[in-house]
């Protein structure tokens, strides 16, 4: 195999044009995933479109209305340390802080991670719980897709040929909401065996609103309106949490893999949901 | 596709090279520059034996493409000592016996160097978290942490 072409575009338009010209071209973001796949001989791109010089792709900006834009090239380290993510948005910050280990967090980017869409990765459930929208760019312009629709199957996304992730947008959410990300892993830094992302808003002792997304237990994050209806309006007691957890476990579609059996994952989902929601509640002031 | 012309500032010296687009920084350092301190362990970014500093931050040499590092400053284990004088972290590893087979040592010391540059008062927990991406298959972690702690304490300086 001959070495790929190497492109270093400086604008999103130029990057999109390069991707449109060659269907086998791959975007090179931080390299943490793509280069590992190349080293393993699993991917042999004809061209690498490096995004490192593309203007406006890195960094986190907060708008006046409290919504946040995270550029696709923003490294996990930056997201993990950002003060721009507030209230419920911090679920994404927490997810970033438990990805792999410091050197990988120095390299890996949010755009690269979600474009690969490993179901065991930390961003998918966090972005779904935070109500994120993914901004995709191509030669035809840009469009936004809800995180819940972006992840479509095992390692599959809504990205069409020639499209790339440009940014991730987080809505402002309720200013009093709490974000909490709970990850069960064999060892720190591993992919999740199961994970739960929660964005919770309380009104006194009652739950005024909640989003719960389960990760690593199927082809894509599991979020269920029916489960959340069991929780909203109540005090989040054991019975309600068990009912919501049971629905999520039933909706999940886990497989046996090196990290755990499918049965184990189904068993652990309700417990992890309870623990995550309780941990979020403990942070409500 | 023809090779890409790049310049890396390796251990303070500009090195201009021609590399294929898919050549990793680890391969460039080891095969072209004879800097064999960075080791190839898993080649998947998991083990940390290839850890080097790019612009002062620890990264995986095996997951970094050299073509994508054009213009960057790279520090390898060979760049830590000043002439014959070992860097404090190197002295500390030697004195604490924080080396068994040595395969992980380069990456460990570079990750520790970056950690201490950012957090000179690192605690045991900070050190464990900071070195979490570097595996020692001899499992000699205790003395590695002791060595980094001794630099924090200023022993031997």
Res A222: pLDDT: 98
From the list A176, A199, A204, A174, the residue with the least C-alpha distance to A277 is A199
Q: Which of A53, A102, A107, A189 to mutate to test the interface with B (most CBs of B within 10 A)?
A: A102
Please, which pLDDT band fits residue B156 given cuts at 50, 70 and 90?
low
From the list A83, A85, A82, the residue with the least C-alpha distance to A67 is A85
Res A1: pLDDT: 60
**In chain B, which residues have their Cβ closer than 8 Å to the Cβ of A18?**
none
pLDDT digits 0-9 by tens, B57-92? 999 999 999 999 999 999 999 999 999 999 999 999
* DSSP output for B92-103: HHHHHT--SS-T
* DSSP output for B56-106: TEEEEGGG-BGGGGTT-EEE-GGGTSBTTB--HHHHHHHHHT--SS-TTHH
**In chain A, which residues have their Cβ closer than 8 Å to the Cβ of B141?**
none
pLDDT at A175 over 70: yes
Is A35's CB within 8 Å of B1's CB? no
CATH number attached to the domain at A178-282: 3.30.390.50
pLDDT digits 0-9 by tens, A182-224? 999 999 889 999 999 999 999 999 999 999 999 999 999 999 9
Q: Is A111 helix (H, G, I), strand (E, B) or coil?
A: helix
B53: distance to nearest CA of chain A, Å? 9
Domain A60-170 falls under CATH 3.30.465.10: yes
Is A101's CB within 8 Å of B23's CB? no
Percent of chain A whose pLDDT exceeds 70: 100
A139: distance to nearest CA of chain B, Å? 24
Q: Around Cβ A135, how many Cβ atoms within 10 Å?
A: 20
Res B1: pLDDT: 59
Chain A residues at the B interface, defined by Cβ less than 8 Å, are 2-6, 28, 31-32, 35-36, 38-40, 48, 50, 52, 77, 100-104, 106-107, 188-189
Q: Around Cβ A120, how many Cβ atoms within 10 Å?
A: 18
pLDDT digits 0-9 by tens, A137-168? 999 999 999 999 999 999 999 999 999 999 99
B62: distance to nearest CA of chain A, Å? 8
B100: distance to nearest CA of chain A, Å? 23
Helices B105-118 + B141-152 axis angle, to 10: 30
Q: Which of B17, B47, B51, B59 to mutate to test the interface with A (most CBs of A within 10 A)?
A: B59
Please, which pLDDT band fits residue A2 given cuts at 50, 70 and 90?
confident
Is A52's CB within 8 Å of B68's CB? yes
How far apart, in whole angstroms, are the C-alpha atoms of residue A21 and residue B131? 42
| Cβ contact B74:B24 at 8 Å | no
Kindly state the average pLDDT of the residues A105-113: 98
Is A31's CB within 8 Å of B68's CB? yes
From the list A115, A124, A101, A39, the residue with the least C-alpha distance to A73 is A115
Tokens of A222: 């599991």
Cβ-Cβ contacts under 8 Å between A and B: the total is 88
pLDDT at A232 over 80: yes
Domain ranges of chain A: 5-48, 60-170, 178-282
pLDDT digits 0-9 by tens, B103-150? 999 999 999 999 999 999 999 999 999 999 999 999 999 999 999 999
How far apart, in whole angstroms, are the C-alpha atoms of residue A17 and residue B52? 34
Is B68's CB within 8 Å of A107's CB? no
Is B43's CB within 8 Å of A39's CB? yes
Res B157: pLDDT: 54
How far apart, in whole angstroms, are the C-alpha atoms of residue B142 and residue B148? 10
Between the alpha carbon of residue A285 and those of residues A15, A176, A248, the distances in Å are: 46, 9, 28
**In chain A, which residues have their Cβ closer than 8 Å to the Cβ of B3?**
3
Q: Which of B5, B20, B22 to mutate to test the interface with A (most CBs of A within 10 A)?
A: B22
Q: Which domains can be identified in chain B, with CATH numbers? A: 4-79 (3.10.20.30), 88-152 (1.10.150.120)
Is B58's CB within 8 Å of A103's CB? yes
* Bridge partner residues of A197 (DSSP): A181, A213
**In chain B, which residues have their Cβ closer than 8 Å to the Cβ of A31?**
63-65, 68
Is A102's CB within 8 Å of B132's CB? yes
Query: In this structure, what DSSP letter does residue A141 have?
Result: E
Question: What are the b/e assignments for A192-225, b being 16+ CB within 10 Å?
Answer: bbbbbbbbbbbeeeebebbbbbbbbbbbbbbbbe
Tokens of A239: 């019975």
Is A106's CB within 8 Å of B58's CB? yes
Nearest CB among A3, A36, A188 relative to B20 is that of A3
Q: Higher-confidence residue: B2 or A231?
A: A231
Mean pLDDT of the residues in chain A = 97
Tokens of B147: 């060595």
Res A188: pLDDT: 87
Nearest CB among A36, A106, A189 relative to B59 is that of A106
pLDDT digits 0-9 by tens, A48-78? 999 999 999 999 999 999 999 999 999 999 9
């Amino acid at each position: 195999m001959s070495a790929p072409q190497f492109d270093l575009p400086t604008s999103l338009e130029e990057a999109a044009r390069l991707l449109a010209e060659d269907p086998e071209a791959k975007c090179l973001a931080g390299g943490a995933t793509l280069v590992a796949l190349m080293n393993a001989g699993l991917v042999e791109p004809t061209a690498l479109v490096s995004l490192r010089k593309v203007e406006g792709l890195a960094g986190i900006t907060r708008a006046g209305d409290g919504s946040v834009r995270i550029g696709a090239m923003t490294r996990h380290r930056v997201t993990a340390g950002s003060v721009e993510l507030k209230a419920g948005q911090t679920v994404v910050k927490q997810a970033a802080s438990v990805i792999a280990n410091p050197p990988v967090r120095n390299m890996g980017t949010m755009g690269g991670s979600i474009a690969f869409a490993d179901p065991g990765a930390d961003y998918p459930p966090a972005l779904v719980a935070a109500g994120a929208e993914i901004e995709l760019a191509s030669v035809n312009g840009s469009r936004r897709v809800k995180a819940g629709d972006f992840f479509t199957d095992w390692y599959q996304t809504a990205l069409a040929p020639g499209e790339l992730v440009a940014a991730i947008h987080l809505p402002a959410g309720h200013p009093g909401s709490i974000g909490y990300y709970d990850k069960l892993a064999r060892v720190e830094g591993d992919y999740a065996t199961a994970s739960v992302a929660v964005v919770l808003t309380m009104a006194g002792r009652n739950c005024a609103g909640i989003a719960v997304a389960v990760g690593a237990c199927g082809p894509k994050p599991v979020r269920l309106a029916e489960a959340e209806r069991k929780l909203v309006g109540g005090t989040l007691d054991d019975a309600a949490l068990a009912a919501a957890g049971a629905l999520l476990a039933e909706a999940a579609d886990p497989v046996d893999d090196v990290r755990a059996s499918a049965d184990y994952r189904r068993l652990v989902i309700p417990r992890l949901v309870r623990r995550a929601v309780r941990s979020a509640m403990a942070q409500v002031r | 596709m023809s090779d890409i012309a790049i310049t890396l500032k390796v251990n303070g010296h500009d090195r201009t090279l021609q590399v294929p687009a898919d050549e990793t920084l680890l391969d460039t350092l080891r095969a072209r520059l004879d800097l064999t301190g960075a080791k190839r362990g898993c080649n998947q970014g998991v083990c940390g034996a290839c850890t080097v500093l790019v612009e002062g931050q620890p990264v995986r040499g095996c997951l970094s493409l050299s073509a994508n590092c054009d213009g960057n400053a790279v520090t390898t284990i060979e760049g830590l000592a000043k002439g014959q004088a070992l860097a404090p972290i190197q002295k500390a590893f030697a004195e604490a016996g924080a080396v068994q087979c040595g395969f992980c040592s380069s990456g460990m010391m570079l990750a520790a160097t970056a950690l201490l540059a950012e957090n000179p008062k690192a605690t045991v927990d900070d050190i464990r978290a900071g070195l979490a991406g570097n595996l020692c298959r001899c499992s000699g972690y205790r003395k590695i942490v002791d060595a980094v702690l001794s630099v924090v304490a200023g022993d031997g300086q």
